[in-house]
Amino acid sequence: MANYLVIVESPAKAKTINKYLGKNYTVIASMGHLRDLPKSSLGIDTEHNYEPKYITIRGKGELLAKLKKAAKAADKVFLATDPDREGEAISWHLAEILGVDKNKKCRITFNEVTKGAVTASLKNPRPIDIKLVDAQQARRVLDRIVGYKISPLLWKKVRKGLSAGRVQSVATRLVVDREREIEAFEPKEYWTINAVLADAKGKKVIEARYYGIGGKKKELTSFDEADAVKKKAEGAEFNVTSAVYGEKQKHPSPPFTTSTLQQEASRKLGFTARRTMAAAQILYEGVAVPGRGTLGLITYMRTDSLRITPEAIDAARGIIGARFGAEYLPQKARVYKTGKSAQDAHEAIRPTMADIFPEMIKGSVPADQYKLYKLIWERFIASQMASAVYKTLSAEMDANGVTFRASGSSVSFPGYRAVYIDGTDAEEKKDVRRLAAIEKGMSFKASEILDEQHFTEPPARYTEASLIKTMEENGIGRPSTYAPTISTILGRDYVQREKRMLKPTELGNIVTDIMSENFSDIVNVEFTADMEQQLDNIEAGTESWVSVVDAFYKPFEKTLEKAEQSIEKVEIKDEESDEICEKCGRRMVIKLGKYGKFLACPGFPECRNAKPILKDTGVKCPKCGGRIVERKSQRGKKYYSCENAPKCDFVLWDEPLQTPCPKCGGIMTRKYLKKGSLTVCTNSGCESNKAREKKTEKQKEEK
């Protein structure tokens, strides 16, 4: 009886696949890469075609021995790592280590971890795609050269522990440049005028906004201009000169790619890119579904393709017809075009089985996995639904020579919105209102005319979602690199997260300036995008990976030599705190560690006193009377506890407020939501909480 060995990357994936295959198959996880470049040196022979010097990763010796033994005993070895460049490279390394012939049919790939996909792949093995391997190897070599050549220079000139990278340095520069745009921004004054129009009985009909004079658009840039217009319109008849009723359609968004999934999970769920990908990985590899066993619930989650198989489309249309009716189905299935720069190696992110509804896994998987699966399922189903239809009104009116405009819309047919509303459309939901019955020739009086001063706003800081969007639009990185890149620039303290916004640190500014002045190509958006294109060309077989690396390295080497001479030492002084070291009496300084900033004695190594930074909230602990201070967990999450911890176990996850509860005198907290915030009393039985809950329930009923 034949004995087959299947090697995958993760234990979870191995466990799922093992349940699909018979007793003739042994499934083992490689735990990612088994070989990599050495940490102690460059590991690349720049004199001989940039040959990488791979070594076995420390701690993988026992696993390697197990794999060798299993491969020797097997009649056939199948390499089933992920279906992308990185997965292909892992399979190539495994083949090298285990003595598997790379030119024979040893490689299997599948876009989803389902029984059908896995068994089908076993029937259609292929040789290892050396072009994919070359593309990954080129990326690895380029990243190693940049990192290992520039990073020591930064250590010498700035401080130890810094790093540079082809993608991370560009991402940091984007955040830095945006912050400088904000700082340089000069606000400009402008005014708006809104007229509340009423019928003869004084009942509000519609609200109209100032547009211009005599039908021509004119901005109001001062109080005097706004006041003159307001006085002209006060008491005047608002004569409707045109009223156009129409209809518009809004089409559903396509299913998710890696980028759009990360963006939408940030907007709708408040997930970081890293958190999104962690949950997606588990959903892909397999979770237990009540009554169905262990299943991979979504397709491969690193993709920039919008392609969907006809079978998956048919399944979605079947569910739409059964659940919502024929009117919710477009006549033809929707086909979405993938962008020119996309690799299109596999499908968009979708449920592997559309008939596994989100509610079927609720309670049986962690909250993150359920929320993300629900998001993916709803977006996919909605992508095959009919368009939403709106009735619209656009009216123009004259008030003593002043032109006002009014518009409105209402949903006449929800279409895909019955299932899913995009995060970017959330505000639109508020604007949808009943259309007023307005016709040309009608006239109204204004019950109220409101003028308001405004100032133009600077561009917004990047969020993780908007940074990923910008990186994708500019061809910086690939789906697999977005989340790690953001984690890196946050971890290096080049960028900080402030209420979901990304802000550069002093260190981020310094390093970006050094990189911009001395390694302009590395932090150039167009150069980085062009390099990504060259990696794609290697994958397509139109360029050699050695020639691509060589074309980069030779001028880079000269630039590096010049930079070593020209970059001056930058001294970043430790920020002094108000804390006095209780051991030696020195004023403690703020330093950066693995888990963020902390207080340390400047007398190191004579005095080794160090402690976390405790930001006083101004609120007293209800248990012991100590100060409630702000802390950070090892995962970087903010929380609040008593300064006397661990002796005192009082903990809050929401920000405590100095003003006590007006009802019970307890601690009030500010709970940050997706939109706005909410003040909540920590006493769950407090009347203030009960009143708020009743109000919320009433609002839900009214909707």
Greatest CA separation for the chain: 96
Measure the CA dihedral 517/519/523/526, to 10°: 110
* Distance between CA atoms of residues 622 and 688, nearest Å: 19
Measure the CA dihedral 546/548/553/555, to 10°: 140
* Distance between CA atoms of residues 295 and 271, nearest Å: 24
User: Tokens at residue 360, please?
Assistant: 């079927």
Q: Which amino acid is at 637?
A: K
The one catalytic residue among 20, 25, 54, 300? 300
User: Tokens at residue 580, please?
Assistant: 């006095």
Reduce the DSSP state of residue 339 to 3 states and report it.
Answer: coil
* Distance between CA atoms of residues 381 and 419, nearest Å: 8
Q: What are phi and psi of 272, to 5 degrees?
A: -75, 165
User: Tokens at residue 584, please?
Assistant: 């030696």
Whether 625 contacts 644, CB under 8 Å: no
Whether 385 contacts 330, CB under 8 Å: yes
**Alpha helices, DSSP H, located in 158-257:** 168-184, 223-233
Reduce the DSSP state of residue 240 to 3 states and report it.
Answer: strand
Q: What are phi and psi of 455, to 5 degrees?
A: -135, 140
Residue showing tokens 């969907």: 308
300 is catalytic: yes
Q: How far is CA 128 from the centre of its chain?
A: 32
Reduce the DSSP state of residue 75 to 3 states and report it.
Answer: coil
* Distance between CA atoms of residues 619 and 660, nearest Å: 9
* Distance between CA atoms of residues 103 and 110, nearest Å: 19
Long-range contacts of 37-44 (CB under 8 A, 24+ apart): 37/140, 37/144, 42/144, 42/145, 42/148, 42/149, 43/144, 44/141, 44/144, 44/145
**Alpha helices, DSSP H, located in 200-302:** 223-233, 258-264, 273-285
Q: For the residues of 538-603, what is the DSSP string, one character each? A: HHHTSS-HHHHHHHHHHHHHHHHHHHHHHPPP---PPEEEEEEPTTT-PEEEEEEETTEEEEE-TT
User: Tokens at residue 303, please?
Assistant: 């993709």
Q: Which amino acid is at 235?
A: G
What are 679's strand-pairing partners? 670
Sequence-distant (≥ 6) Cβ neighbours of residue 274 within 8 angstroms: 483, 484, 486, 487
Whether 521 contacts 560, CB under 8 Å: no
First to last CA, the chain: 65
Task: DSSP letter for 39, please.
Answer: S
**Nearest alpha-carbon partner for 13 in 362, 295, 367:** 295
Can you give the length of the chain in residues? Answer: 703
Bridge pairing between strands 495-498 and 501-504? antiparallel
Residue showing tokens 């693995």: 594
* Distance between CA atoms of residues 22 and 650, nearest Å: 53
User: Tokens at residue 381, please?
Assistant: 């189903």
Q: What residues act catalytically?
A: 300
